[in-house]
């Protein structure tokens, strides 16, 4: 089982590295920034837009359920509109990353960024595996860790586990 987990983790790392290389550093960074910006704007503007949603679509009397539904609809609408706008902007701006000299560096560092993203994803997956021993799968966890010294090394030196270990109640 430990070997299968290692293969899956390696595939995640390879996939993220290749995807980062294909996208390029500029596009990968812009996509990350647009997601963060989209959710920040949607979070701050959803209360305002919620009032318009209630006025336009909700004809029944207002209660806590309609209020939450209106907030969800407003949040979703804002996210959809902003992602559409940002996708167009990212498409235009990322064309600069394909210029002859810049293109090679853009793709190379995109691969590096994808590799780092893959390491972060793997760290969180290993943290989830680490938590299995505390929810009734201690024997299975120990078996997995004993079958692969590399997996055990990765789990023991996982920065996510190290950072959160003190905050965990176990």
Q: b/e string for 126-157 if b means 16 or more Cβ within 10 A?
A: bbebbeebeeeeeeebeebbeebeebeebbee
Distance CA 102, CA 7 (A): 34
Domain boundaries, the chain: 1-117
> Tens of pLDDT along 32-46?
899 999 999 999 999
Q: Does position 80 have pLDDT exceeding 80, yes or no?
A: yes
Q: Does the global pTM surpass 0.85?
A: no
């Amino acid at each position: 089982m430990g070997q299968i987990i290692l293969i899956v983790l390696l595939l995640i790392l390879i996939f993220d590295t290749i995807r980062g290389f294909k996208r390029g550093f500029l596009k990968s960074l812009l996509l990350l920034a647009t997601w963060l910006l989209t959710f920040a704007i949607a979070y701050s503007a959803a209360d305002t837009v919620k009032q318009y949603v209630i006025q336009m679509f909700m004809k029944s009397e207002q209660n806590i359920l309609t209020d939450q539904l209106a907030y969800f609809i407003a949040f979703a609408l804002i996210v959809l509109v902003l992602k559409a706008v940002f996708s167009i902007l990212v498409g235009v701006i990322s064309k600069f990353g394909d210029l002859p000299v810049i293109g090679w560096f853009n793709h190379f560092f995109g691969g590096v960024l994808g590799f780092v993203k893959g390491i972060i994803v793997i760290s969180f997956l290993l943290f989830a595996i680490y938590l299995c021993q505390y929810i009734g799968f201690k024997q299975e966890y120990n078996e997995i860790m004993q079958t692969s010294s590399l997996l055990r090394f990765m789990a023991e030196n996982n920065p996510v586990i190290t950072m959160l270990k003190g905050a965990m109640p176990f």
